[in-house]
């Protein structure tokens, strides 16, 4: 196993709800050390530092000026991602950001050019494709379990975030919406499994002009909706694979949430009974059916194989492991390679989503100007022993 340093020092900007799982994951491993946290609200950063044992709470400006910080973990709201990442790069620090990568295409190009100019790495969520579930899917594909892939399908239908998020406003403002919020999980998984996308077509609608918060201290308050909340898309991959995707905040319930990859000799299915924490997560079942066990097969099916064969995972990270992409970025710095959850991958995914949105207005297929390398699988023995032996895999 490759030796990795214990001194990759990280500063967190953005101390909101999502930061807790990042900090919990990172605290388990020696590869990184979160040494500072910052937000626009000083009391929020002080509380986060106390909660997770972070030695320094400060302003974003103070964090960026700290010469001892190697990397900024950017967990701000989507509209601020590009600005904060740019400031971090200008300060000479690597960046790992939440999704989406940017909300404007020109910002994405600027960030990648700046990182290259500075000799710095950019990593970006989602990193769920590094989890045990998606690594199992990739292994099945690489082993030829369904033959040559021919198609992919993804559907996630929720009725928004207002039932569980106390401050869901930003999901319905520019930079939000189901395509930019949920799309990165599914499109990133598709690129990891099938390679880059070449062209897309899309349709979308905004079903409600206002939505009501249904939890927390603002229960009953109304929000304006400024983005489309139901998105349909068609996808054409460079490999020739064809795909379709539904991302919606307007569906009360559905029997179809799932992710499927079709091949010449079988199907891989990610069942997704809970669309909020299903295929956009690190863990969960992976089902396989081949032509021999298909319902259309004339061959008798063995007992217990009347439906799908569940494939057991052999990889780690079969729990919520947000932050895994940042751990891989730390390893990439030492190994002088690109991180798997890279800025190039994130920008390609954003480019595809941006083109889907444009297609809905132009009623034409949109060519994708960018491409990216298909990320390599994560080694089964990735990462050295964790800090707490009780967490060891």
CATH number of the domain within which 271 lies = 3.30.360.10
Place of tokens 């001892």: 68
Pairing of strands 309-310, 32-38: unpaired
Please tell me whether residue 149 adopts helix, strand or coil conformation: strand
Same domain flag for 86 and 218 = no
Please tell me whether residue 243 adopts helix, strand or coil conformation: strand
Residue 282's pLDDT is 85
Same domain flag for 203 and 264 = yes
Please tell me whether residue 237 adopts helix, strand or coil conformation: strand
Same domain flag for 145 and 237 = yes
Query: CB-side exposure of 163: number of CA atoms within 13 Å?
Result: 7
Nearest to 94 by CA among 266, 293, 332: 332
Same domain flag for 227 and 142 = yes
Mean pLDDT, to the nearest integer, of 48-65?
97
Mean pLDDT, to the nearest integer, of 84-100?
97
Q: Which domain holds residue 326?
A: 8-128+321-342+373-391
Nearest to 182 by CA among 157, 201, 210, 206: 157
Pairwise CA distance, residues 13 & 65, whole Å:
13
Q: Count up the domains in the chain and report the number.
A: 2
Mean pLDDT, to the nearest integer, of 194-221?
96
Residue 305's pLDDT is 46
What percent helix, strand, coil does the chain show, rounded to 5?
30, 20, 45
Same domain flag for 178 and 218 = yes
What pLDDT band is residue 393 in, cutting at 50, 70 and 90? very low
Residues 236-271: tens digit of each pLDDT: 999 999 999 999 999 998 888 889 999 999 999 998
pLDDT mean across residues, the chain: 91
- 207 lies in some domain: yes
Same domain flag for 161 and 297 = yes
Pairing of strands 8-13, 32-38: parallel
Residue 207's pLDDT is 95
* Rg of the chain (C-alpha set): 21
Residue 280's pLDDT is 63
Who contacts 380 (Cβ-Cβ below 8 Å, separation ≥6)? Answer: 314, 315, 316
Who contacts 352 (Cβ-Cβ below 8 Å, separation ≥6)? Answer: 187, 197, 200, 235, 368
Place of tokens 């997704």: 272
- 363 lies in some domain: no
Work out the number of other CB atoms within 10 angstroms of the CB of residue 16.
16
Quote the crossing angle between the two packed helices 343-362 and 178-194, to the nearest 10°.
Answer: 120
What pLDDT band is residue 303 in, cutting at 50, 70 and 90? low
- 262 lies in some domain: yes
Same domain flag for 38 and 155 = no
Place of tokens 């918060």: 213
- 1 lies in some domain: no
- 348 lies in some domain: no
Same domain flag for 327 and 254 = no
- Residue 103 phi/psi, 5-degree rounding, is -115, 5
Mean pLDDT, to the nearest integer, of 115-144?
97
Residues 114-127: tens digit of each pLDDT: 999 999 999 999 99
Residues 286-300: tens digit of each pLDDT: 999 998 876 665 555
What pLDDT band is residue 307 in, cutting at 50, 70 and 90? confident
What pLDDT band is residue 390 in, cutting at 50, 70 and 90? very low
What pLDDT band is residue 6 in, cutting at 50, 70 and 90? low
CATH assignment at residue 377: 3.40.50.720
What pLDDT band is residue 108 in, cutting at 50, 70 and 90? very high
Same domain flag for 180 and 122 = no
Same domain flag for 122 and 271 = no
Percent residues over pLDDT 90 in the chain: 79
- 315 lies in some domain: no
Place of tokens 């494939």: 311
Facing residues of 212 across strands?
222
pTM of this prediction?
0.90
Mean pLDDT, to the nearest integer, of 328-354?
97
Same domain flag for 152 and 164 = yes
Same domain flag for 105 and 162 = no
- 2 lies in some domain: no
Residues 145-190: tens digit of each pLDDT: 999 999 999 999 899 999 988 999 999 998 889 999 999 999 999 9
CA distances from 306 to 136, 198, 297 (A): 22, 37, 11
Pairwise CA distance, residues 392 & 217, whole Å:
39
- 360 lies in some domain: no
């Amino acid at each position: 196993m490759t030796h990795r340093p214990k001194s990759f020092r990280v500063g967190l900007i953005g101390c909101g709800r999502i930061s807790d799982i990042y900090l919990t994951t990172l605290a388990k491993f020696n590869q990184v050390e979160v040494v500072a946290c910052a937000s626009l609200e000083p009391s929020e950063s002080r509380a986060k530092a106390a909660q997770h044992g972070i030695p320094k709470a400060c302003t974003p400006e103070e964090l960026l000026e700290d010469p001892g910080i190697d990397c900024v973990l950017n967990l701000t709201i989507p509209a601020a991602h590009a600005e904060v990442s740019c400031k971090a790069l200008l300060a000479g620090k690597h960046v790992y950001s939440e999704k989406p990568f940017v909300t404007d295409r020109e910002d994405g190009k600027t960030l990648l050019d700046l990182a290259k100019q500075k000799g710095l790495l950019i990593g970006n969520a989602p990193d769920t494709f590094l989890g045990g579930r998606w690594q199992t899917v990739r292994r099945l594909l690489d082993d030829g379990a369904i033959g040559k892939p021919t198609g992919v399908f993804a559907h996630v239908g929720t009725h928004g975030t207002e039932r569980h998020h106390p401050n869901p406003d930003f999901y319905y403002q520019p930079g939000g919406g189901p395509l930019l919020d949920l799309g990165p999980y599914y499109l990133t998984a598709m690129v990891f499994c099938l390679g880059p996308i070449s062209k897309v077509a899309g349709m979308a609608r905004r079903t409600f002009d206002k939505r009501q918060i249904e939890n927390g201290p603002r229960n009953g308050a109304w929000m304006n909706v400024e983005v489309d909340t139901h998105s349909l898309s068609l996808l054409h991959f460079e490999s020739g694979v064809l795909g379709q995707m539904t991302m919606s905040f307007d569906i009360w319930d559905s029997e179809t949430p799932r992710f499927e990859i079709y091949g010449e000799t079988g199907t891989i299915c990610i069942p997704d009974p809970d669309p909020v924490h299903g295929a956009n997560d690190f863990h969960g079942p992976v089902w396989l059916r081949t032509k021999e066990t298909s319902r259309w097969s004339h061959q008798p099916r063995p007992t217990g194989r009347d439906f799908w064969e569940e494939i057991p995972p052999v990889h780690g990270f079969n729990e919520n492991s947000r932050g895994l992409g940042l751990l891989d970025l730390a390893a990439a710095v030492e190994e002088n390679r690109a991180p798997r959850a890279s800025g190039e991958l994130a920008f390609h995914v954003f480019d595809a989503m941006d083109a889907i949105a444009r297609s809905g207005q132009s009623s034409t297929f949109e060519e994708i100007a960018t491409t990216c390398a298909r990320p390599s699988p994560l080694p089964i023995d990735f990462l050295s022993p964790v800090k707490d032996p009780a967490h060891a895999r």
